Amino acid sequence: MPSDKKKIMSMSKSKSKSKSKSKSKSKSKSKKKKSASKSKSKRKRSKQTPFAAIADEFTSFTQVQEELRKRGLESSSLIVGIDFTQSNLTQGRSSFGGRSLHDLVDDSNPYLDAIEAVALTLEAFDDDGLIPCFGFGDARTRGSAVFSLKPNGEPADGLAETVDVYREVAKTVKLSGPTSFAPLIDAAIEEVVESGNEFHILLILADGTVSPGVPYNETVDAIVRASDYPLAIVVIGVGDGPFDTMHHFDDNLPQRAFDNFQFCAFDDVLRTHKNAANAAAAFALHTLMEIPQVFTYVSENAILNKRLSSKSVARLRRRLAVQILEPPTAPLPLSITAAVSLVLILR
């Protein structure tokens, strides 16, 4: 019996040794897998690096267009959304000489610089050249609606008119808040569906973070909702920041059907490409470099040009319930206001 006990003990020891060996082997395998996956991700990142790095070589927007075509972009329509929240008054403290980001200096500002760079690049991919332009975050919309920069919700006819209508609105709009992208994204979804699900890029120009609470949650829901459509959301952060929320939207939200959100900070990108032959063209390429991948995804996954019945479109409109207000009007001169008040009193 003692000898049997010794045998059993020795067998159990050998089993435990073999188990520990197998565990160590499995651990080493998992470590190898992890390191392999890390090296793969590093390789993936290294593949993307040259595309960003070659931006400095571009001297014209035509070259940027050619590069985007090589990467797979065939056609695109642009939608523009501009942030008119009150934080624009202080967000240019460091980056815009302490001015409001909507102030015009030599007929320009960070908003216009970013719009011009992206619109000039994309105009070659847009058949009709019409650009729906919206504002959000002002005293009338207050995070629950958008307003059109042109009357009756008309799109701007190309870049030149986009710039003109923005300049007019910037003079009269009353800045407010909170910041929510949800109404704007839903308005863009409507534009996409009404076009027959053609590929669109929603260019959002904003000065900082989305407001916490309901605006934040609604924005997340809208970004996820937009991933069912051929819509790429590109956010350009203008001003001093911080832009932590934008980076979170860019890197996270796994519930999306695909990565439909890209963010870049205007001043950071310009600093990166400050020695470029054409800094604006380099900025445009940096901003749009992920767009061909999005276009390829929606093309290969039956999202692009997907036809919806009129009933489905009507149902979607009811669900989104997008409110698009008219552009802000210029306040009446003080003398006219006083005269109107006097007439009302005399009545």
pLDDT given for residue 278 in this prediction:
81
* Cβ atoms of residues 303 and 213 within 8 Å: no
- Domain of residue 319, residue span: 74-325
- Does residue 339 belong to any structural domain of this protein? no
Query: Does residue 110 fall inside a structural domain?
Result: yes
Contacts of 263 (CB under 8 A, 6+ apart): 234, 235, 236, 237, 243, 246, 247, 249, 250
What pLDDT sits at residue 44?
Answer: 36
The per-residue pLDDT for 345 is 63
Per-residue confidence in pLDDT tens, the chain, 347 aa? 444 444 444 444 444 444 444 444 444 444 444 444 444 333 333 333 344 444 566 788 898 999 899 989 999 999 999 999 999 999 999 999 999 999 999 989 999 999 999 999 999 999 899 999 999 999 999 999 999 999 999 999 999 999 999 999 999 999 999 999 999 999 999 999 999 999 999 999 999 899 999 999 999 999 999 999 999 999 999 999 999 999 999 988 999 999 999 999 999 988 888 777 788 888 998 899 899 999 999 999 999 999 999 999 999 999 999 999 999 987 655 555 555 555 556 65
> From residue 137, how far is each of 53, 169, 197 by CA, in Å?
35, 13, 27
Answer yes or no: is 20 within a domain: no
Write the CATH number for 214: 3.40.50.410
Domain count, the chain: 1
Q: Does 67 reside within a domain?
A: no
pLDDT of residue 7: 44
182: in domain = yes
Please, what is the angle between helix 310-320 and helix 182-194, to 10°?
170
Q: Tell if the pTM clears 0.75, that is, is over it.
A: yes
Judge whether 113 lies within some domain. yes
Q: At what angle do helices 110-122 and 158-172 cross, to 10 degrees?
A: 160
Domain contains 25: no
Count of Cβ atoms closer than 10 Å to residue 138 Cβ: 25
Residue 85 covered by a domain = yes
